[in-house]
């Protein structure tokens, strides 16, 4: 059984060796790059007391050199961070796009579907190894991105902070999985690789954005109200969602709603007389929010794969 599974995985990877190679090499480069950058940043030895003054922005004299070195390394590491943001998109499309579409386009489905009595089995043989590769690679790169973010913000507890939300950790893996699943289904429908890349990118990104927007609506219901004044301000660790104005009776309204209630509210040269508040999710809820969004993307990705399997069982080979 294990031998048979290994055989299926090996043959699937052999069929898509360019895509698999590209994804693995790019992922490995990013992981190695982020480890080196994190190590270099940690070696600068920037302590928690070596931060700019909150009010003046000035640094203590003793750590100007370290701070500049830290910033120089951070700017050198910025292409790695940027590529890490793109990695789930590249991986999802590069792996998910051709896995079904190319087989239909090249006509190899005629052979495969005449040999395999079950098209579902054929679909699983093709998609499961590739999906596992996508999730594994983006999970590793996501962990490396978390490691790099920790090195760039040493004062931050990333388990309780929204710093780098959606660009580190498990969410990178689920975004890539969702994109790959979308591309698989688009490929099963259209049976052509190039249109699949384009449509898969558009549909996949729209789906990820839609998940984010829907999640934001849920989070607004759970948001904590944070007054914004000289003494209190939401922390970088919190997830800022929106701002509201607080009426004397405690109601929170948007600017547009306030104008309807009090058309003269903004006429004072001292600004509105109503306090401005922020709607935030505290940083300590990070893991819960991350897990929920990851689960949503995972489920949606699985729904797309079920759709792809349905199309494959119904369609004609070329």
Residue 111 lies near other proteins (rule: CB under 8 A): yes
Tokens linked to 239: 């997830």
Residue 10: CB minimum distance to other proteins, A:
9
Residue 125 lies near other proteins (rule: CB under 8 A): yes
Residue 110 lies near other proteins (rule: CB under 8 A): yes
Q: Which is nearer to other proteins, 294 or 311 (CB)?
A: 311
Q: Which is nearer to other proteins, 4 or 264 (CB)?
A: 4
* Side-by-side strand order, sheet with 239-246: 224-227, 276-281, 239-246, 252-253
Residues in Cβ contact with 169 at an 8 Å cutoff, skipping those fewer than 6 apart? 142, 143, 145, 146, 290
| Segment lying near other proteins (by CB under 8 A), choices 2-10, 151-159, 167-175, 244-252 | 2-10
| Segment lying near other proteins (by CB under 8 A), choices 12-20, 70-78, 152-160, 182-190 | 12-20
Q: Which is nearer to other proteins, 113 or 286 (CB)?
A: 113
Residue 21 lies near other proteins (rule: CB under 8 A): no
Residue 108 lies near other proteins (rule: CB under 8 A): yes
Give me the residue label for tokens 């920037």.
46
- Rounded to the nearest angstrom, the gap between the alpha carbon of residue 48 and the centroid of all alpha carbons in its chain is 29
- Crossing angle for the helix pair 119-152 and 2-15, to the nearest 10 degrees: 80
Distance CA 224, CA 277 (A): 10
Residues in Cβ contact with 228 at an 8 Å cutoff, skipping those fewer than 6 apart? 234, 243, 275, 276, 277, 278
CA distances from 40 to 26, 36, 62, 169, 276 (A): 21, 6, 20, 21, 41
Provide the pairing of β-strand 252-253 with 239-246.
antiparallel
Q: Which is nearer to other proteins, 122 or 286 (CB)?
A: 122
Residue 115 lies near other proteins (rule: CB under 8 A): yes
Cross-strand partners of 245: 253, 276
Residue 102: CB minimum distance to other proteins, A:
10
Among 7, 62, 232, 254, binds other proteins (CB under 8 A): 7
| Segment lying near other proteins (by CB under 8 A), choices 8-16, 27-35, 65-73, 175-183 | 8-16
Residue 87: CB minimum distance to other proteins, A:
24
Residue 177 lies near other proteins (rule: CB under 8 A): no
Residue 116 lies near other proteins (rule: CB under 8 A): yes
Q: Which is nearer to other proteins, 8 or 296 (CB)?
A: 8
Residue 190 lies near other proteins (rule: CB under 8 A): no
Q: Alpha helices of the chain — where are they, by DSSP H?
A: 2-15, 17-44, 64-106, 108-115, 119-152, 170-190, 193-222, 255-261, 286-314
Residue 175 lies near other proteins (rule: CB under 8 A): no
Residues in Cβ contact with 175 at an 8 Å cutoff, skipping those fewer than 6 apart? 88, 89, 92, 138, 166, 208, 297
Residue 310 lies near other proteins (rule: CB under 8 A): no
| Segment lying near other proteins (by CB under 8 A), choices 107-115, 149-157, 274-282, 283-291 | 107-115
Residues making contact with other proteins (CB under 8 A):
4, 7-8, 11, 14-17, 106-118, 121-122, 125, 316-317
């Amino acid at each position: 059984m294990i031998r048979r599974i290994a055989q299926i995985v090996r043959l699937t990877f052999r069929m898509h060796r360019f895509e698999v190679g590209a994804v693995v090499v790019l992922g490995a480069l990013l992981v190695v790059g982020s480890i080196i950058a994190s190590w270099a940043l940690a070696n600068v030895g920037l302590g928690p007391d070596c931060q700019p003054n909150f009010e003046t922005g000035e640094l203590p004299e003793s750590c100007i050199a370290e701070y500049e070195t830290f910033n120089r390394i951070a700017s050198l590491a910025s292409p790695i961070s940027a590529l890490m943001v793109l990695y789930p998109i590249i991986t999802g499309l590069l792996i998910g796009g051709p896995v079904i579409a190319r087989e239909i386009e090249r006509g190899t489905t005629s052979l495969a579907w005449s040999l395999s009595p079950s098209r579902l089995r054929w679909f699983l043989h093709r998609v499961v190894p590739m999906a596992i590769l996508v999730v594994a690679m983006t999970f590793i790169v996501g962990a490396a991105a978390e490691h790099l973010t920790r090195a760039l913000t040493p004062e931050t507890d990333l388990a309780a902070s929204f710093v780098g939300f959606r660009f580190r950790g498990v969410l990178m893996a689920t975004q890539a999985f969702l994109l790959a699943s979308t591309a698989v289904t688009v490929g099963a429908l259209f049976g052509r690789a190039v249109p699949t890349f384009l449509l898969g990118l558009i549909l996949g990104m729209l789906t990820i954005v839609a998940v984010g927007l829907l999640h934001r609506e849920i989070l607004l219901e759970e948001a904590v109200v944070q007054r914004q004044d000289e003494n209190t301000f939401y922390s970088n660790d919190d997830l800022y969602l929106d701002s509201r104005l607080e009426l004397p009776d405690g109601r929170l309204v948007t600017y547009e709603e306030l104008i309807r209630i009090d058309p003269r509210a903004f006429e004072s040269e001292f600004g509105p007389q109503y306090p401005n508040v922020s709607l935030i999710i505290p940083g300590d809820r990070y893991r819960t929010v991350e897990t929920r969004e990851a689960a949503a993307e995972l489920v949606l990705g699985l729904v797309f794969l079920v759709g792809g399997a349905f199309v494959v069982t119904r369609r004609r080979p070329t």
